[in-house]
Structure 1
């Protein structure tokens, strides 16, 4: 019996990505390059023949999922649990501005230690909501089917480590995802509901 597959895709580039500005949960759309990335990755995702397509409810993920939905013939399900970390009052700040305002917080952000960034949503809360949503998505798939979720870089990285059952500190061994980079997780062959394995990380078009 074939295992199920879960594909996690980061959104395309935004102007704030390009500028090095914190987005968090602010609703920033894709720039021209980001739209091109989404169009480029769409046929590759469609070629995986997904059965379900879920997506964060923020604009940059909605714009990323649109060409994927068209290419795959699927209607996306929008779920706010798939949002990026919230960075509270630090959202909209550039890296340079944050480094000047809070050098320790900036160093923690750059190191991926988000619990040491005073304004950030707790990592455990992000991990819990992401895993809850993705476990539900996986449960809706039949054996051999593929589900796709469009989300955000830091949130996907946390979810990947949690879904693989790795210790949380292993998150720091994974590099950040590129825009429209994807993670592919597959069930152990012949063990429905069994542990997930990492098939690909940061695969891009």
Structure 2
């Protein structure tokens, strides 16, 4: 299983939760194409994504490079963040930091009013990933989703990670996180593999 964060959004300095259906920046579209080129030779049985535009726009070129169409799973949406959505990083960082601090301390049910907690996200996403893993047992599949969703998944699924590691794992735009199931547990083969970094780099 590869968990892939969507490419750069058209407003990367704004908090975008499930409530914000923002698209990709010009670089984000190029980034998604470069990611597709990289993944084309690796193969995959299927490409899944959330229904948000930034995820679909990132997953579509990847799926097409593999001769497929992306399969949309709406429940894989980004964290619901309520009134934090649409606020600038400067305006909302303190609210987000408080959630992270409490999660790292083990208070996984905590969230600001209107926002999903770590535990809420885990309860929503983990059954989907478990189902996809059973469906593709022994095969490789790609899941194009959102930064916080990936962090929650990694710190919940990996045997050597806990919510205390939430802030220790970088999840850049268009990054790839490869996980392998050994029959009893998940282990990481690669985390935050970045093919086309942000901010924009010249593209030949």
Q: TM-score under structure 2 normalisation?
A: 0.85
Measure how far apart 1:129 and its partner are: 1.5
- Rounded Cα–Cα distance in structure 2 between residues aligned with 1:142 and 1:90: 38
Counterpart among 22, 29, 50 of residue 15 in structure 2: 22
Aligned residue in 1 for 2:154: 160
1:108 aligns with 2:102: no
Distance in 1 of aligned mates of 2:152 and 2:73: 17
Q: Gaps spanning 5+ residues in structure 1: where?
A: 1-5
The answer as to 2:196 corresponding to 1:202 is no
User: What is aligned with 2:46?
Assistant: 52
1:94-133 maps to which residues of 2 (within 5 A)?
A: 94-98=88-92, 103=94, 105-108=95-98, 113=103, 115-133=110-128
Using structure 1 for the length normalisation, give the TM-score: 0.84
Counterpart in 2 of 1:141?
136
**Structure 1 residues 122-173: Cα deviation after superposition (integer angstroms, max 9, x where no partner):** 2111112211111111111142x10100000011010011111433222233
Question: Aligned in 2, Cα 1:97/1:199: closer, same or farther, shift over 3 Å?
Answer: same
> Higher relative contact order by CA 8 Å / sep ≥ 6: 1 or 2?
1
Distance 2:178 2:158 in 1: 11
Distance, in Å, in 2 between the alignment partners of 1:9 and 1:24 is 17
Shift of residue 98, structure 1, vs aligned partner: 2.7
Distance 1:112 1:21, change over 3 A: farther
Runs of 4+ aligned structure 1 residues displaced above 4 Å come to 109-114
